[in-house]
Structure 1
Amino acid sequence: MRIYVPLTPQEIEHDEISPRLVHAVTPDLSRVFPREGEEELEYVAFLAAADDSLRALTTVPRRVVAVADVPTPMVELPAVDEEILESGVHMAEPLSWDRVESIHIDEAEAEAVIRDAIAGDERAFEESAEIDLLWYDILERAALIAALTS
């Protein structure tokens, strides 16, 4: 199953990614958007992860999403009464970086909008959904860490 993992810039440095709510194309998401193809559904899950990343930010105002393919038993569907998006699944165990295929991050020019969204500006939050995150191969992780900590 392909999962979209919301992260903070600081978490890129961690040895592994801790269990958390992540996003994926789930049966519930497919039911909500029955006319959408797989690519569009994956984009919805990706955007949900980017929104969760934004909500977790405290210092560096740049959203981060890791994309990984994991075996289905590594994720659990949420309980029926949980109030989470239809794309939400629980990552039940830590994720090693060797399972991650790519890392997506806001470019520096997006920081003002993201900072305003973090501060509670609803217009900025909505505007952040229109900002494309940059794509990085997992092999570029060390360079990203260096760039974000300098």
Structure 2
Amino acid sequence: MIVCVAVVGHQNNPLYIQSFTEADDALKLHHIVHCSLDVVDERVNNPKKSGLTLNETFLGLLYPTENYKVYGYLTNTKVKFILVTTDLDVRDADVRNLRYGIAKFFRRFHAAYVDAVSNPFHVPGKRITSRTFAERVSNIVKSFGLSSAG
């Protein structure tokens, strides 16, 4: 189940963060998103260690916590997408389907982001305040995240 999505700018400034749980968890999820940026930077700056190629955008599992798994995606403009899920009991046989599902989620999320920032009234590098974008993200999360990420 998807519990939080975030868009973080190339200077690690939050552009959009939305949690899909109770208000009590929102601050914890914001902290998890912020902590995941260190892992993204490490993977991007050390591609030989992490096994990434230069054109790879899906960063995969960034790190698991006790209650969550955090996944990452990097655009060509160094904007980062972070996904926090509660799917911790995934069997090895389901990992490939899960990876495909999460990569598909990120592609749809990226398309929604591109549409939002293509708006002539959006100021680049500023928070995304579009209600249309928020609704589109909620619909993507509902289609992927209510039963599982795949």
TM range, smaller chain: 0.3 to 0.5
After TM superposition, the score normalised by the length of structure 1 is: 0.37
After TM superposition, the score normalised by the length of structure 2 is: 0.37
